[in-house]
Amino acid sequence: MKHILILHTGGTISMSTDQSTGVVKPSSEHPLNEYKYVFDQEVKLTEEDILQLPSPHMTPADMLIVKNRILEAIHESDIDGVVITHGTDTLEETAYFLDLTVPSSIPIVMTGAMRPTNEIGSDGVRNLQNAVWTAMSDDAADKGVLVVMNEEIHAARYVTKTHTTNVATFRTPTFGPIGIVSKKEVMFFQKLIKKECFPIDSVNKVVPLLKAYAGMDGFLIESLVESSIDGLVIEALGAGNMPPATLKGLHALIEKGVPIVLTSRAFNGIAQDIYDYEGGGKQLKNAGVIFAPGLSGPKARLKLLVVLEQSTDLDYITEVFEKV
């Protein structure tokens, strides 16, 4: 019998709808406790309410708490897999943070819900059930952190929330899901060919995230030059281009030694140094901007936060971003 640790961190999956007002709020008792019988005969479950946070309240420091608890459990008990329930707004960020920082091959699966447990069409219990089946699967080992929602299995590195309310909100642009859950059967048909891990004990750096837009001037970037930021991530235009008015601030930060990581604000595709004009990706890369192919802005920010805990060397940072 497999032993699965379930860590509850809050979010809609742990909330209920007030029938008189329609407001969604945390429940005094975890609603999923009513459904433990679903698993009792086939798996040993250990459940912990490690946090109780709406996902917009989640911080990298909270993510570190979850990471430390997972490592502690792996070292001290006989668990075969971990399931983490989480609010969906920042689920992809916590998933990627854990993917970057947990050096373990056992299945680690994150799930959540788009509808409270007592609402018609609630998806929480089914998502949790599918996450447990996935964590029990031998095939889920050594695949990094997985996100299981709406009967699909996604890799933490690329999955993102694409709809504010739809239960089919989690998607992997460009690549698609790496597997599905059908009844109790867990089936994988893709896998990541590269993995990376950066074990850390703290996460204290300051890394803002900006999004480029048509007519963007230098105000936001230049205002950061005199600040004490440790790095900057920008969701650039297209394949990785910036409006010319931003260049003065970008060059000033580069001269100051601040690592600048560039992604694309586009939903699909990757950031590349293609265009050779003022503000184009080719000139930005030649100036020292670091490209993060395949990562969204929020995930590139998390990776930079994690990598900066290990080193501030620009060559090292460039290598770990551009090799994957």
The DSSP symbol for 208 reads -
Residue 88 is a catalytic residue:
no
Amino acid at 246: T
Rounded (to 5) percent helix, strand, coil in the chain: 35, 20, 45
Residues 6+ apart with CB under 8 A from 27: 14, 15, 16, 117
- The catalytic residue among 12, 88, 117, 134 is 12
Q: Which residue has the tokens 């433990």?
A: 36
Q: Would you call 20 helix, strand, or coil by DSSP? A: coil
**Cα 258 to Cα 248: distance, rounded to the nearest angstrom:** 14
**Cα 127 to Cα 148: distance, rounded to the nearest angstrom:** 7
Question: Given its phi and psi angles, is residue 219 left (phi above 0), alpha (psi -120 to 50 degrees) or beta?
Answer: alpha
The DSSP symbol for 241 reads B
Kindly list the distances between the CA atom of residue 26 and the CA atoms of 13, 195, 214, in Å, as whole numbers in the listed order. 9, 36, 40
- What is the set of active-site residues? 12
